[in-house]
């Protein structure tokens, strides 16, 4: 299971089979299998809505991490460009 999937499940569920896949846990929720237990605050949330919220959390996590990676790459490029500009100015 990906980190984003485990994070999303842990945000919304108190318990689920750790060996199950993300999709299997979502199916358990839809089937109202007691092995997948929502946090008390979400017990009354319709299961389809709960699965949608879990998937949105997974997607959001992935987008944030991708944005952080892009930001780091951009910062590295900026540092390289700055170093290249300094080198150009010192040689001229």
CB 31 within 8 A of CB 39: no
pTM, whole model, 2 decimals? 0.73
The yes-or-no verdict on residue 87 having pLDDT over 70 is: no
At which residue do the structure tokens 């108190």 appear?
Answer: 14
User: Exposed, middle or buried, 50 (CB in 10 Å: 0-12/13-18/19+)?
Assistant: buried
Q: Are 11 and 60 in contact (CB under 8 A)?
A: no
For the stretch 33-74, pLDDT in tens is 999 999 999 999 999 999 999 999 999 999 888 777 665 555
Q: Whose structure tokens read 């990676």?
A: 69
Provide the residue ranges of all domains of the chain, joining segments of one domain with +.
3-91
What average pLDDT does the chain have? Answer: 85
Mean pLDDT computed over 84-92: 57
Q: Is pLDDT at 32 greater than 90 in this prediction?
A: yes
pLDDT at 65: 84
- Which of helix, strand or coil describes residue 32? coil
């Amino acid at each position: 299971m990906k980190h984003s999937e485990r994070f999303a499940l842990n945000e919304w569920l108190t318990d689920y089979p750790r060996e199950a896949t993300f999709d299997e846990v979502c199916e358990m929720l839809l089937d109202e299998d007691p092995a997948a237990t929502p946090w008390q605050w979400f017990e009354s949330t319709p299961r389809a809505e709960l699965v949608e919220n879990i998937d949105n959390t997974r997607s959001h996590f992935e987008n944030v991490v991708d944005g952080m990676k892009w930001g780091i790459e951009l910062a590295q490029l900026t540092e390289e460009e700055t170093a290249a500009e300094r080198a150009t100015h010192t040689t001229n």
